[in-house]
A and B are shown apart, each in its own frame.
Chain A
Amino acid sequence: MGLQLLFFCFSMRRNWVSLFESDPSQPVSRDLSEAVLNAQSHLIPRLGWFIEGGAALGLNEPTVLNITFALLLSTGSLLVIGLFSRSAAVAGWFMHLCAVKSANLMTYGVDNFTTIGLFYLVFAPLPDRFALDYVRKKSRQPNHCMADVCQRVLQLHICIVYFFTGLTKALGIGWWNGTSLWRSVTSPPYDVIPAHIWATLTPLLPLLGISVWVLEMGYPIFIWLQKTRLIWFLAIIVMHIAIALTMGLYLFAFVMIVLNLAAFGPDVLPFLNKITLRELPAMLQPANQN
């Protein structure tokens, strides 16, 4: 998730100040987005809070925005190296949330799923074996009970997500006859591959369209069955890689793969248990009671 935060910052680096400052020359201002947020709740975090706080301290808007960007970048970096993991997770989640909510008229799936991932990270036991925090204070063990609860909630959440994504697709005729898949990959700005190349695959489009929603709707069932778990997991990962390569949704694919790995990775790929400290290194195993 740290990498995802860094990618988010990288993708926003050129537009960060112009997107969030109250500048009338910007097509969609932060003020408007936050006014729309107010219609839902005044308690939803937003960058306006930082800007008001900064103004009280005599800081102007671009300065506050630059500071928040630097902080977000720092929290992403700290999460990647695993230093001050808990504080970085909380700060990263909060600032990312403020940013995406202050641009809520222009957010898409990736922002939602990054929020979901960061939200779980706030509660998830940290650190893992490669984290600097683990090296710093080796004696502190992650809470395994909490890890199981977090993983189970994330697993169920991901299952609900895939089920409803698949269901809503199955309710439209376009995902049965291939039209929707065709439009997904040829509509701007997702038309990474020219339409005439896709056109050569016309006979396959209905099959591919049906495969997508079958894969998604079947996820909550087949990911729990021992025999189908690995194949379904790999198929979903391949689907996300295909989305990234054919539609240019790299960040979206990345966060979905991260969430899948976090939810079912340790069950499907047992070596992940060693990284996440589910299986304690020999030196940290409890002493034999006999």
Chain B
Amino acid sequence: MYGHLFLVLWVCTRNTILLVADRHTALPEWLHQSAKRTVSAIAEAHIRHAGALALLDQVWAAYEHAAGIDTGYGFFAPAVPNASKLVFEITYADGHPEYELPVVSDNAAGLRLSTFLYQLPRVRYEPLRELVMRMVVYSVWQRHPTAKRIRAVVGFVSIPPPTAARDLHVADYQFQYAYDFTFDTD
């Protein structure tokens, strides 16, 4: 019981420190630096004992997931990010492009897709992010096997301020990053 609650507390605290270290909060600079040093110290200690505690680490992680306490609870906090948008630019051999959006069957799937798009830029390990994008683009290519190139463009929906919304101004889309993948269709 105490161990379980300690884990809940630890995961929440660690998550909050990470948010501060990543400068997502409005706290002063010295606190950001302190949080950064704390995060480094935790990571260092983790690496130092990684070999000896590998099994314990695996059991610990599995327990956290099994109990639903593997992540913190900072929903929509400290700031609400812009909603992400993914567009595929599909170019064929004759050079003509087509544009496609990810297709979802219902609202529930839409919510899950938006979570995925939200998490994507937060994947810190670049090769993993590229692999994820490669798989996403490959799924599009399955429907367009004659495409020569598919560009996955990730942007965000810039929400207008309340004053603009009152005049019925619509949301604006802004470019974030893109991945290009070429296919040898010969």
Contacts and interface: CB of A to CB of B under 8 A. Distances in A.
Interface of A: 11-12, 14-15, 24-29, 32, 36-37, 40-45, 97, 101, 103, 105-109, 112-116, 119, 149, 153, 156-157, 160-161, 163-165, 167-175, 179-180, 182-184, 186-189, 195-196, 198-200, 202, 205, 213, 248-249
A14 B159 contact: no
A163 B15 CA distance: 13
Contacts of B80: 174, 179-180, 183-184, 187
Interface string B112-133: 1111100100000000100110
Nearest to A160: B8
Contacts of B58: 41-43
B112 A153 contact: no
Interface of B: 1, 4-5, 8-9, 12-13, 15-16, 19-20, 24-27, 57-62, 65-80, 82-83, 102, 105-116, 119, 128, 131-132, 135-136, 138-140, 142-143, 157, 159-163, 165-166, 168, 171
5 contacts: A28-B136, A41-B61, A105-B116, A170-B78, A179-B79
A14 B77 contact: no
Contacts of A183: 80, 82, 159
A199 B165 contact: yes
A153 B4 contact: yes
B26 A112 contact: no
Interface residue SS majority, chain B? helix
A187 B142 contact: no
A24 B79 contact: no
Interface residue SS majority, chain A? helix
A101 B159 CA distance: 32
Contacts of B24: 171-172
A32 B78 contact: no
Contacts of B108: 11-12, 15
A24 B138 contact: yes
A147 to B, nearest CB: 14
A12 to B, nearest CB: 7
A172 B25 contact: yes
B54 to A, nearest CB: 10
Contacts of A113: 68
A171 B67 contact: no
